[in-house]
């Protein structure tokens, strides 16, 4: 009887990663091996935008927390940024491109609709053994990418996974219009995840969610010429946003999803070393941190220097904080993203990136 109970207990432990209402069978754990990031060379300061429309540095900063952002130049692209970030992450991980089994590129602004950015990155890296695909969840992309990667690792399907968040929104902004163009910047961030013993899992839990944006409060259309409409003018493909609606969405879901995750993992905010939110707006970041009880020293943010880099924002913020010696290892982090779709999610991770 005792032996059977012991076997039952072992099986329960292997199934106790409770996400949503389902138990997930884990054969392995997830370990975070390395991180990298990349920004374009061109810096656009708030003062530069004064030449395009009626604004000034103080107006932009007081509403967004942004002083400057980076945008791609003619010889730069989502691929070039993803490649640089990936090379750094691989170097930190002490892995070769041939060691990577899976590449997930999280982006809503790929260089081309096809071939996928992930397949192009695979070729540039020389990751000949990898399977590659793109994942689109807008500014929540990196959270969704980590969750997706973890499932392949838990099942034993793949050992080493490269997850890249990259977006180049500067190609899809109406630079004559103030409300959206002041927000976005281009960039890339990458992390390498690898399998480890199930008891050493560094992904402590996650929650991901979505709902239909029926009012289309945040959109980037893909308007093309229809055969029957060859004579009609084509509307430009620019990001459009109902700022008030998206702001309210963010301030509602960020504390809610983080609290849900902390409850599921039996943790409190004081158990967490760092809070890393999507870098969309400093007012959202400050409000969420206050509601959740995270003091300023625990909040990781670089929005003043890079703006909203969408799917790249979370790994970019982490990597920049590491390089600036703002993070001490080992540590526990709550990551949270939200974006178009609508999508949102949070992950609780344990990091010990000694080689960065």
Q: Where are the domains of the chain?
A: 29-200, 204-351
Distance separating alpha carbons of residues 113 and 109, to the nearest angstrom: 9
Q: What is the pLDDT of residue 148?
A: 98
pTM of the model: 0.91
Q: What is the pLDDT of residue 13?
A: 41
Q: What is the pLDDT of residues 346-355, one digit of tens each?
A: 999 999 986 6
Catalytic residue among 46, 106, 139, 302: 139
Q: What is the pLDDT of residue 183?
A: 97
Q: How many other CB atoms are found less than 10 A from the CB of residue 163? A: 28
331 catalytically annotated: no
Q: What is the pLDDT of residues 45-87, one digit of tens each?
A: 999 999 999 999 999 999 999 999 999 999 999 999 999 999 9
Catalytic residue among 106, 308, 319, 320: 308
The helix (H) or strand (E) run that includes residue 175 is: none
Residue 330 preceded by cis peptide, ω within 30: yes
Segment 167-187 mean pLDDT: 95
Q: Which positions ≥6 away from 14 have C-beta within 8 Å?
A: 25, 26, 27, 198
Say which CATH topology domain 204-351 has.
Peroxisomal Thiolase; Chain A, domain 1 (3.40.47)
For the ranges 7-16, 20-29, 33-42, 262-271, the lowest mean pLDDT is seen at: 7-16
139 catalytically annotated: yes
In this prediction, residue 8 has a pLDDT band, given cuts at 50, 70 and 90, of very low
CATH architecture for the domain at 29-200:
3-Layer(aba) Sandwich (3.40)
The helix (H) or strand (E) run that includes residue 43 is: strand 42-45
In this prediction, residue 123 has a pLDDT band, given cuts at 50, 70 and 90, of very high
302 catalytically annotated: no
Fold agreement between 29-200 and 204-351: yes
Residue 3 has pLDDT above 70, yes or no: no
Q: Where are the alpha helices (DSSP H) in the chain?
A: 2-14, 46-49, 57-64, 78-93, 117-125, 141-155, 178-181, 243-264, 282-292, 303-306, 313-323
Q: What is the pLDDT of residue 15?
A: 46
Catalytic residue among 278, 281, 302, 319: 278
Q: What is the pLDDT of residue 6?
A: 44
């Amino acid at each position: 009887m005792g032996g059977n109970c012991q076997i039952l207990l072992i099986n329960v432990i292997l199934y106790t990663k409770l996400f949503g209402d389902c138990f997930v069978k884990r054969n392995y754990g997830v370990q975070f091996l390395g991180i990298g990031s990349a920004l374009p060379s061109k810096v656009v300061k708030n003062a530069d935008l004064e030449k395009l429309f009626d604004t000034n540095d103080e107006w932009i900063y007081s509403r967004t927390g942004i002083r400057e952002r980076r945008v791609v130049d003619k010889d730069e692209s989502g691929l070039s940024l993803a490649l640089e970030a990936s090379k750094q992450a691989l170097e930190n991980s002490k892995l070769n491109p041939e060691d990577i089994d899976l590449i997930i590129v999280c982006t809503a602004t790929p260089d081309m609709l096809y071939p996928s950015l992930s397949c192009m990155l695979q070729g540039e890296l020389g990751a000949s053994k990898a399977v590659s695909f793109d994942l689109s969840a807008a500014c929540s992309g990196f959270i969704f990418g980590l969750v997706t990667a973890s499932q392949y690792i838990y099942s034993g399907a793949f050992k080493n996974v490269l997850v890249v968040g990259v977006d180049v929104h500067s190609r899809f902004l109406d630079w004559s219009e103030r409300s959206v163009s002041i927000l976005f910047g281009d960039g890339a961030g990458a992390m390498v995840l690898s399998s480890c013993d199930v008891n050493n899992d560094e992904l402590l839990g996650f929650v991901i969610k979505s709902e239909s944006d029926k009012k289309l409060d945040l959109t980037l259309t893909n308007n093309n010429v229809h055969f029957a409409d060859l004579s009609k003018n084509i509307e430009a493909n620019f990001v459009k946003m109902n700022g008030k609606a998206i702001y309210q969405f963010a301030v509602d879901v960020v504390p809610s999803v983080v609290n849900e995750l902390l409850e599921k993992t039996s943790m409190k905010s004081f158990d967490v070393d760092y809070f890393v939110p999507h870098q969309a707006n400093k007012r959202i970041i400050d409000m969420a941190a206050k509601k959740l009880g995270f003091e300023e020293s625990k909040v990781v943010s670089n929005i003043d220097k890079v703006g909203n880099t969408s799917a790249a924002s979370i790994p970019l913020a982490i990597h920049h904080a590491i390089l600036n010696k703002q993070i001490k290892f080992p540590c526990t982090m709550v990551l949270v993203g939200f974006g178009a779709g609508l999508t949102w999610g949070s992950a609780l991770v344990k990091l010990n990136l000694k080689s960065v």
